[in-house]
Every structure is written in structure tokens, then in C-alpha cells.
Structure 1
């Protein structure tokens, strides 16, 4: 298992390098630059050239990237030329919001999705049709539109939940939970639909295998057959889907944070892009990439737990 972890981490190093390089080059090629953002609309060519020289923007791109990479390897993501704040501090201050959204959404979607999928496979009938309808609805509804509907109904008309903002759990556990309900529901509908559909299909295929009939013929309880044997055998594709959903959530969080005015990494990335704040854009891109690497590593470890044969591959 440790060999698997080390191998996956070593494989992630080139990925981080490629992502950071592409992000730097694509950002540099977009119209505008940091100097124009700082100076505003009225500036002289001399002042513009002087500021570009002070910021090092007149140097070759490879030299600028090399300086950033040298600092990033030491754990220094630089200073934002727009705000003057340390990039790492900005990311850390906003990471709690994004992680709360992603973790809570994934946990709830997994619980409800797997439960619905198992019940649909075992009982069928109305529950099976409900899962089909939920899947179609979850695929069709854009999460940002659904988020606006939730705000209109539960925050504006019913006034049951806050429409915007985020309360850290360290400040108030109840306030933290209330601030997450609407954005988590907006993100979770699609995830629940996908997980439920995958779980049901996997369970139906597993329950039709010969070993399940043998277990039942030998007197194994239905609970043991369903949860100990069938669900474990059907779990690997479900885990794969959950891993992909978590990665997609990191993209969906950007829109949801904007709808609910939550101070997360998505909002930080959007603001930095509008201001052409290269160090912040680089820092957020690398942070999201690290999250994706960790999610994939967790998926691989779960594979090993579910199927010991994977540990030796």
C-alpha cells in the first residue's frame, strides 16, 4: 500500500509542473496585464513602462516562471501585486469555505445516493422509477439555476435560511450548518442522481450473479447478502464515480460561491483573473491540482480496501 501511495505522489509531480506552466503561459497571453490593473485607465507610457519593470513583467516569460517555480518549490507562492498580501495566506483563509462545500456535499451525496441505489435495486417498483426520474432531473438541472431557485424560495420568500455569506465552524457550528444548507443542496442534487443510478445498476448486476444465489441457498441473511457481499462487489465503479464527482465539484464550487457570495477559492480565482493577478491565479490553480491528486489517491486507496488484488498492481 505504501508503494502505491509513493508511486501516485511521484506521478503527481510532473502534473503539478505542467498545470502551473500552462496556467502561467495562458494567463500571460490573455489581454491586459497587472500593471494596467494597478494604474487604472489614466497612465503615461513612461509610468506604465516603469511599473512593468518594477514588477518584472518586461522580463522573458520563462524567467518569470522560473522565479515563481523556485519560490513554489520552497513553499512560497509569492505576494499579490494587487493586494500586497501573501498568496499562501489568502488561499489558507479561503480554503475552509471550499473544503466545507466539497466535503459536506460529497458526504451527503454518497449517503443518499448509495441508499437510494441500494433500495432501488433491492425493492424496485416505485423507488426504481423515482431513481430514474431523479437521475434525469439531476442531469438536466444546472446547479447555478437551481441555486437561484433555492435562494428565491427559502431565503427571499420563506426567510428560513441565509441567502448569502459563510460562517466558519469555529465561530458558530449552527451558523456554519445554516450557511451551507442551500449551496450544498444545489451542488448535491446532481451528485445524488449520478451515484444512485450507478449504485442501482451495479447492485442489479451483482445480485444476478451465481454467488448471490449460492449465498441465499446456504441460508445467508438478506442483509448480509446485500450489504456485505453485493454492495462491496458493486462498490468499485461507484467509488470511481464519486471520485469524478468530487473533481467536478471543484469546478462547480466556483459558480455556487458566486451565487451565494461565499469567500472561497473559486471567488478568489475569479477576482484574480479579472485583475490579472498572476501569483494568485497560479496559487489557486496549484491548490486545486493538489486537491485533485489527493482525491485520486484516496480513490486508489479505497480500491485497495475493497479489492486486495489492486494493492499489488
Structure 2
């Protein structure tokens, strides 16, 4: 019962957060300098043209009426019409979403498959492993994406290294070639995340290794591999899971620069173009989608952490009571 109350509390907090985010997105878009009518219709548009555009794009009436109209339609899956392309925003996002999801999924997979084993290795190898982990972590965290991406683009366009740059293959044509065409930008995106996860995992492992039950396992003659599998990984997983949830939203945001560098037709570059054109529906949908992914991922991670370590939900229940 305590865990159920904790879950309901997390769901309520997620719903309230999404509502607050929608309000902030709506207000921020309308606070941007430059009127949509001047950018969409041009400076010679008549008053009748502006009124027709406001009616067509749902921008007539007061701001509370516009917000209520937009939110009600968004809940039903209708995100409006793009002012630039005159097509439904949902169709535009559906065409570009597979690119960004594939890119983010590849980067997240590389992060987990490389970062966690690297952190466990450096955390269980004493001072030598600690120095190596700090060095790799500092390098990965300090190199900006646009610098690393520009270097990768130069090397793979200057020399024949097996992978091409700027030649995206749609998923519907060839899934394997599509994934390979996004492998380089995914690697660039994953460098920062691998370094962050490796450092967090290393610190978590070092924190667990000083616990009394680890000393008891060593006294019983258990091997290092056994101790890591049965005593270290589960106890060190909570901060790693939390960071992974945060990095999923970071990858969606960081994909903007990488998509531009590698000419990938994803959501990031489309959202930047929408900002330049003051395309309200595109910007609102893009930011709302990123917020929904971030909030949902954090909610799922909280639920998983509550199952992995029941003390979390128990302490939360005691704090509320």
C-alpha cells in the first residue's frame, strides 16, 4: 500500500509538471521578439490577411483562449498547422521523429554498453584505475560536441575510413544502412554521456566497496567477479539509472548540433528552423515533446529505483506521513 501511494504521488507530480511546462512553453513562444504575421505574411499584408492567418492558425482571441484551444487539441493529438509549410505539425514530426529516435537510441546504447563497464572496471582497479577513469572522464566531458563533430566530419570526408558523412538513408529503404548512416553522429553524441556515466558508476562503485557487507564477502573468500555481480552492481545502480534518465533528455537536445553537422533530417534541425521563422506550432510541439520524454523517463526511472531499492519508496512514504 505504501508503494502504491508513492507511485500515485509520482504520477500526480509528473502530471502537474507537464501542465506547468505547457504554460511556460506557450508564454515563452509568444514572448519571442518579432510578430508571426510579419514573418509569415510579409510586411505588405493587409489587416484582413492577418485576421485570416490568426483564425487559420488558432491565434485569434485572448491568450487564455489560445492556450486552452492549443492544449485541448494537443491532448487529442492535434498539434496545429505549421505556418511555414502549411502542413500538419504531427505529420512533419512523424516524418522526422524516426531519425532523432534512432540517433538518440544508438547514442544511449553506446553510453550504457561502454560507460557502465568502464566505470565498474576503473572503480574496482584501485588507484591506477581511478587515475585512468578521471583522465578519460575529463577528456570526454571537456571536449565540445561541435569541436569533436567537426573533427570527425573532416577525417571521414578527407580519408576513406569505411563510413560516409551527410548521406542519410531512410529507415524504410534499408534499416541497416540507415543505422550505419547515423553511427558517426551517435558516437559524437555518446562521448560526453559515456564519460559522465563512467565517472558516476566509478564513484558509486567506490562508495559501495567500503560498505561492511563487502568486507564480509571478502573475508568469506568470495571472488572479485562474484562480489561485483551480487553485491556491487545493484547497490550502485540507483545514481547510474538517475543519470541515464537525465542524459536521455540531453541527447534529444544535443542532437540539434550533431544533426546540423552530419546533415541528418531530424527534429533538432527542424525545431531550429521553426524558431527562426517564429513557427509557434512547431516550437511548442518540439519543446513539449522533449519535456514529455524527459518527465516520462524520469518517472519510469523513479519507479524502477523504487523496485530495485524498496528503501526509497518507504522513506518517501514516511516523509509524507
TM-score by length of 1: 0.90
Instruction: Report 1:3-42 matches (<5 A).
Output: 4-40=6-42
Instruction: Report 1:146-185 matches (<5 A).
Output: 146-158=148-160, 160-185=162-187
Residue 308 of structure 1: how far off its partner (Å) = 2.4
Distance 1:31 1:125 in 2: 54
Instruction: Report 1:118-267 matches (<5 A).
Output: 118-124=120-126, 126-158=128-160, 160-267=162-269
Count how many residue pairs are aligned between Structure 1 and Structure 2.
312
Match of 2:102 among 79, 100, 103: 100
Residue 53 of structure 1: how far off its partner (Å) = 4.7
Distance 1:168 1:128 in 2: 42
Distance 1:146 1:282 in 2: 30
- Note if contact 2:14-2:299 (Cα within 8 Å) is conserved in structure 1: no
- Note if contact 2:29-2:284 (Cα within 8 Å) is conserved in structure 1: no
State the Cα deviation string for residues 61-104 of structure 1 (Å, max 9, x = none). Answer: 22222221221222221222321211122222211112112222
Distance 1:53 1:139, change over 3 A: closer
Q: Which stretch of structure 1 is more off in the superposition, 150-159 or 96-105?
A: 150-159
Residue 288 of structure 1: how far off its partner (Å) = 0.9
| Pair 1:109-2:111 in alignment | yes
Root-mean-square deviation (Å): 2.2
Distance 2:260 2:4 in 1: 40
SS in 1 for 2:306: helix
- Note if contact 1:34-1:82 (Cα within 8 Å) is conserved in structure 2: no
Structure 1 residue runs of 5 or longer lacking an equivalent are none
Tell me the equivalent position of 2:64: 62
Structure 2 residue runs of 5 or longer lacking an equivalent are 317-321
Distance 1:165 1:19, change over 3 A: farther
Distance 1:97 1:121, change over 3 A: same
Residue 168 of structure 1: how far off its partner (Å) = 3.7
SS in 2 for 1:167: coil
Distance 1:206 1:247 in 2: 28
State the Cα deviation string for residues 258-288 of structure 1 (Å, max 9, x = none). Answer: 2112122212211111111111111112111
Distance 1:153 1:4, change over 3 A: farther
